[in-house]
Amino acid sequence: MRVLETLTVTPVGGHEDRKVDVRVLAATNKKLKEAVLSGEFRNDLYFRLNVIKLEVPPLREREGDIPLLVRHYVCKYAQRMNKQIETIPEDIMAALCHYSWPGNVRELDNVIQRAVAVGETDEIRLEDLPPDFNSAPALDRVSTIRNLHDALEETTRDVCVAAFRASQGNCVKAARLMGVHRNSAYRLIRKHRLEHLLEDYQ
Separation CA 33–CA 44 (nearest Å): 12
For residue 8, give Cα distances in angstroms to 11, 23, 170.
10, 12, 82
pTM, two decimals, is: 0.54
Query: Which among 130, 46, 55, 138 has a CA at the least distance from the CA of 100?
Result: 138
* DSSP structural state of residue 87: B
Three-state secondary-structure class, residue 123: strand
Instruction: Encode pLDDT of 151-178 as tens digits.
Output: 777 788 888 888 888 888 888 888 888 8
- Binned at pLDDT 50, 70 and 90, residue 54 comes out as confident
Separation CA 21–CA 16 (nearest Å): 16
Biggest CA–CA distance in the chain, Å, is: 99
